[in-house]
Amino acid sequence: MSAGEELYSAVAPLPERFNLCDYYLDRNLREGRGGKVAIHCGDRSATYAQLSARARQVAAVLRRLGVRPEERVLLALPDIPEYAESWFGILRAGAVFAMVSPLNHREAFQNYLAYTKCRVVITHSDCLPEIAPALRAARLPVAALVVGPDAGGFLDYEEALGAEDPDSALAALEPTGPDDLAGWLFTSGSTGLPKACVHTHADFAYNTETYALQVAGYRESDVCLSVPKLFFGYATGTNLMFPFRVGASVVLFPGRATADELFDQIERFRPTFLTHVPTMINNMLRSPRIASADLSSLRICLSAGEALPARLYEEWKACTGVEILDGIGSAEMFHIYISNRPGDVKLGSLGRIVPGYEAQIVDPAGRPVPDGEPGRLRIRGGSTALCYWGDKPKSRATFQGEWCTTADIFRRDAGGYYWYEGRDDDLLKVSGIWVSPLEIENVLLEHPAVAEICVIGREDEDRLIKPHAFVVLKPGHQGSDQLAAELKAHIQSRLTPHKYPRWFEWRESLPKNDRGKVSRKELKAQL
């Protein structure tokens, strides 16, 4: 068996006819789970059978509106049952989902409509103040299905579905194959407008069969809850696709994720599987409710999206007894390809390669570097995107044959564990030496006064780059020259002297992007 054949043998070959709606949703009816609750959302719930019937109606509506296979449908919905039934209905019709935050403003919606050239938008009445003007100004005609109490002159979602027979020919499963287009996953847009990574049906199934089943270990008995929202591919996987693959249940809530909201959802629905992000781990640990909260239902916590400081892991584990499986994935690869495992968490690392994937760490010329040396990460596996839509130069730079070359700087140790150093465009050259902001941030987070931190590069009076720290302090601490001196001394006692921040800026909070990550781009613009 060749190296390539061995790599892809982690997943059984898919049939000639393959559709993700059947793979994730309808299989549960065949396996006897039609009456099981698939979704909890406040006082609402939906069984697998109910969700399947609604997805069929969505598919019929889309076809009646003229949507053809591989045409885009834009989803801009909060996390409610209609999100799931629309997502599956799009796939059932053979169309391509493109998911965006419902909290976008008018200009962003205008850009997404122009970029996707979508035939239909499925959105919520709460979004209409921002998305309606964009829809009316769109160059190409776009039909809009609106969930909620007021369709605003567009098509009422419930009325449209109610007019369709879930067993009609219009509702039939499109006979797609593994290599047909299924979905667009948008990059986080750290530079410029977000670009869409184009994925096939097979891509999503591949990572499900490898990461979800062989590493994270989803079970039919699981109840899953997510901090990130479903439009973010990280959560689409962990709180929709992966649970449905094994017939588990998911908890959705439409509002903003806060520590109080998470405590309330955990208390009510007793989830076993929590998709987390470091910012919310920190917020929950700092909440006064943490002392009395019953988190005993949890068996697994995931973390991705931004680096998880070792201090947060230790505090969470001491408080809850639950491991956090930190990992890294990307829109380019759909989901997580390097991860810690249950019972095998190496503190501070992102774990080992997921079965079915292969990684290399390379120098600027593309040559693999020895263990222990940092370099850019290259990854390959059966979930690599085809391209960035409408951006051939960027596609060529990122996708080379089977390999995806990331902007992430890693080092691998002798035991095969991967350590994240930051993104290549975040690294700072200080006194002629490359410095990782993440390394500085992790050391500062160990100081008892620091709650959140973001370090970026700033030019000094000689136009040389030096670290600048934006700091959120814990209650009871106040920013001052004395504290800044103390933090500098703390850094210099742990790291080489040139790495200390030259400036400390005290903040009440740090700006976040729509995926919950600290927005370095926004902070850089404020200097």
pLDDT tens-digit map of 22-49: 999 999 999 999 999 999 999 999 999 9
CA 402 from chain centre, in angstroms, equals 22
Residue 190 has pLDDT above 70, yes or no: no
**In the chain, what is the straight-line distance between the N-terminal and C-terminal CA atoms, in Å?**
55
Q: Mean pLDDT, the chain, as a whole number?
A: 93
What domains lie within the chain, and their CATH numbers?
Answer: 19-176 (3.40.50.12780), 213-420 (3.40.50.12780), 428-525 (3.30.300.30)
Give the model's confidence band at 431: pLDDT under 50 very low, under 70 low, under 90 confident, else very high. low
Nearest-Å Rg of the Cα atoms of the chain is 23
Give the model's confidence band at 517: pLDDT under 50 very low, under 70 low, under 90 confident, else very high. confident
Residue 427 has pLDDT above 80, yes or no: no
Give the model's confidence band at 282: pLDDT under 50 very low, under 70 low, under 90 confident, else very high. confident
Distance (Å, whole) CA 301 – CA 282: 14
pLDDT given for residue 412 in this prediction: 97
Distance (Å, whole) CA 103 – CA 350: 31
Give the model's confidence band at 492: pLDDT under 50 very low, under 70 low, under 90 confident, else very high. confident
pLDDT tens-digit map of 156-183: 999 999 999 999 999 999 999 999 999 9
Distance (Å, whole) CA 85 – CA 145: 13
pLDDT tens-digit map of 7-23: 888 899 999 999 999 99
pLDDT given for residue 176 in this prediction: 98
Distance (Å, whole) CA 140 – CA 296: 52
| Mean pLDDT across 336-354 | 96
Q: Which helix (H) or strand (E) holds 36?
A: none
Residue 36, class by beta-carbon neighbours within 10 Å (0-12 exposed, 13-18 middle, 19+ buried)? middle
Residue 88 has pLDDT above 60, yes or no: yes
Q: Which of 249-263, 325-339, 402-416, 424-438 has the lowest mean pLDDT?
A: 424-438
Q: How far is CA 509 from CA 197, 278, 290, 292, 316, in A?
A: 31, 15, 20, 25, 21
Two tokens, residue 424: 């290549």
Residue 96 has pLDDT above 60, yes or no: yes
pLDDT tens-digit map of 148-159: 999 999 999 999
For CA atoms 126, 127, 130, 134, give the dihedral sign.
negative
Distance (Å, whole) CA 166 – CA 93: 12
